[in-house]
């Protein structure tokens, strides 16, 4: 199955992919993915979002995801921890994202956000073919003055 080692996947994910996102180099970002890649985003109880390398009518292209992110925020990714399975060509990473709205962003009034993320990556031929993003946004509720009723499935205390 996989012919790449642990260090290769960490480099692909942390340095090449997230490094290119921080540099806002969308061509380099896309170069980390296969042409038929898919990104799936899960965020709390929000609807699932999907982006495709080869979108069908009505589907969002991969570039729309990064164009929105890089168009509205300066992103910083750090505090990485990796779990890598080279034999199966997959890995996962937990990390912290800081999103600072750009001056022209409609999100400027919200201010910087700190997200807790966990991404899963499935690879083919050394590139990402599927990425699933799970993230929590604990700073936004407080910034908006909203109180959480607690995580879904847990009673309010």
Indicate whether 150 belongs to any domain: no
Domain count, the chain: 1
Indicate whether 91 belongs to any domain: yes
Indicate whether 12 belongs to any domain: yes
What is the model's pLDDT at position 154? 54
Indicate whether 115 belongs to any domain: yes
What is the model's pLDDT at position 44? 78
What is the model's pLDDT at position 2? 58
Indicate whether 152 belongs to any domain: no
What is the model's pLDDT at position 3? 79
Name the pTM for this structure: 0.88
Indicate whether 86 belongs to any domain: yes
Residues of the chain whose pLDDT is less than 70? 1-2, 140-157
Q: Which of 91, 85, 106, 116 is nearest to 17 (CA)?
A: 91
Indicate whether 22 belongs to any domain: yes
**What does the pLDDT look like over 108-139, one tens digit per residue?**
988 899 999 999 999 999 999 999 999 888 77
Indicate whether 35 belongs to any domain: yes
What is the model's pLDDT at position 32? 98
Question: What CATH number does the domain containing 10 carry?
Answer: 3.10.450.50
Sorted by sequence, the CB contacts under 8 Å of residue 45 that are 6+ apart come out as 152
Give the domain range for residue 104: 6-138
């Amino acid at each position: 199955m996989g012919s790449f080692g642990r260090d290769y996947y960490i480099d692909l994910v942390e340095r090449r992919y997230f490094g290119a996102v921080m540099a806002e180099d969308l061509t380099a970002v896309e170069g980390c993915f296969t042409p038929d890649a898919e990104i799936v985003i899960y965020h709390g109880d929000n609807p699932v979002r999907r982006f495709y390398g080869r979108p069908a009518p009505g589907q969002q292209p991969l570039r729309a995801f990064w164009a929105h992110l890089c168009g509205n925020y300066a992103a910083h990714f750090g505090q990485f921890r990796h779990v890598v399975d080279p034999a199966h060509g997959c890995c996962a990473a937990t990390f912290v994202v800081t999103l600072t709205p750009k001056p022209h962003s409609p999100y400027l009034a919200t201010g910087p956000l700190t997200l807790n993320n966990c991404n899963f990556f499935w690879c083919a031929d050394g590139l990402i073919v599927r990425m699933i993003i799970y993230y929590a946004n604990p700073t936004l509720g407080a910034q908006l003055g909203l109180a959480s009723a607690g995580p879904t499935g847990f009673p309010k205390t």
